[in-house]
Structure 1
Amino acid sequence: MSIRMLKTLLAVADHRTFSAAADAVAVTHAAVSQQMRTLEAEMQVALFDRSGRTPQLTPVGRAIVTKAREVVKAYDNIVPSVLGDVGLQGEILLGAIPTSLTGLAPLSIALLRKTYPDIRVHVQPGLTTPLLLQIERGSIDAAIVSRPAVLANGIGFLDVAHEPLQLIAAQETKSDDYLELLREMPFIRFSRDAVVGNTIETWLQSKNIKVNEMMELEGLEAISSMVLANLGISIVPTQSVKQFSTLPLKRIPLPDGAPVRKLGLAFNKDSPRKRLIEEIHTALLEAVKIGVFQPQSFSADEQK
């Protein structure tokens, strides 16, 4: 048995098929199949039920996957745990919600690598709920997410920023009354698959505000572009790290009591990479302190 085989087993568990796992670990489908048969022979158990078109993990296989995650995490942490700060190097898989990808994520990663140049950050975009599931499965190390109402017991959460919701409208919109705009203008909805989309919908219902929904989109950039074209208005979070060049839109604050998006870094409480996760959190807080993403410089002193 080898760590490589265990990592392939985890890839199969996470990606559901041998073909998808092969792509994830950069080997052929035949190599994945051979590794799994070798693993079964060495362990003398059936990891997969092969009676259907797609092999499925057996109950024993699922139990072994759980233990394999612990073994792989411990293996990956051998050098960092011995070297301390010197071990802050290598690869980390960081999830990030779409709204963080144009400001907060790139600035914080740049700040992190300025301090620890040997760290390689691989970014996995996604919405909060799928990213939290990936953390639980061990597919990613941590993720920049919106805090949901409930977190699984094994998930830790470090606050990064509180982002008030605001109404955005085209500059040519005459009214500045948020209630009038919501009732009369077409509404471009933030995806309800996102935590912030559900937060917005809950607030609208609590205020008995009925909107004329025109479309439902996932990304802040897409929503902002539609609003810029005067196709409707929307409610979005105020970005804690703004882009250097922002679209010329009206940005109207919502009244007191309106919800705030809580942005933070989620991670597995049993992660062996807590030291690195702490450094990522520090970089995120520094990025929020800077407040604006200016690609030409990542020095806090130069961006103030």
Structure 2
Amino acid sequence: MEIRQLEYFVAVADEKNFGRAANRLHVVQSAVSAGIQTLERDLATSLFDRRGKRTELTDAGEALLPRARRALDAMRDARDAVSEVSGGLSGTLRVGTLTSIPLVDIPAVLGEFHRQHPGVKLVTGGTPSGSAGLVASLLEHRLDLAFVSLPAVPPVGIDVTLLGRAPLMVALPHGHRLANRPHVTLHDLADEDFVDLPPGFGNRELVDRAFSAAGLSRRVALEITDIGTAVQYVQYGLGVSVLPEFLLNETPGVTVVRIDGDLPWWSVGVASASNRALGSAGKALLEIIQQAVLHGSGHSCA
């Protein structure tokens, strides 16, 4: 059994497809197929049930997967140790990102990391389901770190380093019937058309839960993927939006009103899987991110 064979095995298990696994590993599909066949021959068992276009783990494959991940993590740690002694980090660091992260200048942070650790290959990407999708990728060990917006208590198996938090306020277009009030309730807003992110994104989950806890439903008329642009849609009368306070600084044509009640605070952090020790490259990037937020490289909030 070779480490490369385990890398092939984990990639196919994650992707559920030999072709996608080969693309992820930057090798030809025949190499992945041959590696898996050799591994199955060495273990005298089938690891995958190949039916149609989808490839599923057998019971033996399910038993091997967590042990294969641990073996690859141990190999990564061994490489880290040697790299640190020899004067520089190496390997690949996979980072999940959201479309907009108001507290952090992501290009600047990643640029600084690359300047300090040029031997580490950075791979970044998002998901169409926002923080929920990033959490799933962390739990599957497809990512090492991810920027997420999650509830105060993160999902089981996820550790979060908080970067910032802010209260939720409602943005109303100029001339709205509620714009002259000093504060509103969720009941006041229940019949409005909302601008918000798709399901799975942190802001959407927080607001949906708040309405549900109050025994109310709401109508999201316009879904966007960049929280930083939501207030602009409000500005042009396309709906109202409940957003973190620091995104709502004096936009022309928009009135910001406080919401009464015990609403959760919006937060953003860097998440990792609890059952997988963060490697040296991940720790180095996390330190750079924390320093950037501490010294005001992004927006600040309480």
Fold-level match, TM-score > 0.5?
A: yes
Q: Distance in 2 between matches of 1:53 and 1:144?
A: 32
Deviates more, 1:101-110 or 1:70-79: 101-110
The TM-score normalised by the length of structure 1 is: 0.79
Separation in 1 of the partners of 2:159 and 2:83? 24
Partner residue in 2 for 1:298: none
Matched, 1:144 2:137: no
| 1:52-71 to 2 correspondences below 5 Å | 54-71=54-71
Q: Does 1:231 align with 2:265?
A: no
1:217 counterpart residue number: 224
Q: Residue by residue, what CA displacement relative to the aligned partner does 1:218-250 show, whole Å, maximum 9, x if unpaired?
A: 4314534422322111112345xx7xx996554
Do 1:74 and 1:272's aligned partners in 2 also have CA atoms closer than 8 Å? no
The 8 Å contact of residues 102 and 228 in structure 2, kept in 1 or not, is answered as: no
Q: How far is 1:45 from its partner?
A: 1.6
Change (3 A) 1:189 1:172: same
CA distance in 1, matches of 2:28, 2:82: 35
* TM superposition shift of 1:200: 0.9
Matching of residue 73 in structure 1 with residue 80 in structure 2: no
How do 1:1-304 residues align onto structure 2 when only pairs under 5 Å count? 1-50=1-50, 54-84=54-84, 86-100=87-101, 103-126=104-127, 127-148=130-151, 150-170=153-173, 175-177=179-181, 179=184, 182=189, 185-207=192-214, 211=218, 213-221=220-228, 223-238=230-245, 248=252, 249-255=254-260, 257-291=262-296, 293=298
Partner residue, 1:300:
none
Q: Distance in 1 between matches of 2:5 and 2:277?
A: 20
* Alignment gaps of 5+ in structure 2: none
Distance 2:265 2:19 in 1: 42
Identity of aligned residues (%): 22
When residues 235 and 281 of structure 1 are mapped into structure 2, their CA distance, relative to the original with a 3 A threshold, is: same
What is the SS of the residue equivalent to 1:100? Answer: coil
Distance in 2 of aligned mates of 1:290 and 1:252: 29
Length, aligned pairs only: 291
- Asked if structure 2 preserves the Cα contact closer than 8 Å seen for 1:185 and 1:212, the reply is yes
**Relative to structure 2, which stretch is displaced further, 68-77 or 247-256?**
247-256
What's the offset of the Cα at 1:139? 0.9
The question of whether the paired residues in 1 share the 8 Å contact of 2:96 and 2:126 is answered with: yes
Q: 1:83 to 1:119 in 2, by over 3 A?
A: closer
Shift, 1:117, TM fit? 4.1
What SS class does the counterpart of residue 37 from structure 2 fall into? Answer: helix
CA offsets 1:191-240 (integer angstroms, 9 cap, x no match) = 3322331211222344566655423334314534422322111112345x
User: SS at the partner of 2:167?
Assistant: strand
- What is the CA distance between 1:27 and its match in structure 2? 2.8
1:188 aligned counterpart, secondary structure? strand
Residues 168 and 92 of structure 1: is their aligned pair in 2 closer, same or farther, counting only changes over 3 Å? same
Contact 1:160–1:281, Cα closer than 8 Å, also in 2: no
Tell me if structure 2 keeps the 8 A contact 1:165–1:259. Answer: yes
Taking a change above 3 Å as real, the CA distance of residues 66 and 207 of structure 1, as seen in their structure-2 partners, is closer
Query: C-alpha offsets along residues 88-112 of structure 1, whole Å, 9 cap, x if unaligned?
Result: 3442101123332894433432343
CA RMSD of aligned residues (A): 3.4
Query: Distance between the aligned counterparts of 1:255 and 1:111, measured in 2?
Result: 42
Measure how far apart 1:5 and its partner are: 2.0
Contact residue 120 and residue 281 of structure 2 kept, 8 A? no
Q: TM-score, normalised by structure 2?
A: 0.79
Counterpart amino acid of residue 63 in structure 1 = A
Do the aligned residues in 2 keep the contact of 1:144 with 1:264 (CA within 8 Å)? yes
Give the direction of change, closer, same or farther, for the CA distance of 1:230–1:132 in structure 2 (3 Å limit). same
- How far apart in 2 are the matches of 1:270 and 1:140? 13
Unaligned runs of 5+ in 1: 295-304
- Describe the superposition over 1:124-176 as per-residue Cα deviations: whole angstroms up to 9, x where unpaired: 21322221222122111111112346545543222211132232344565825
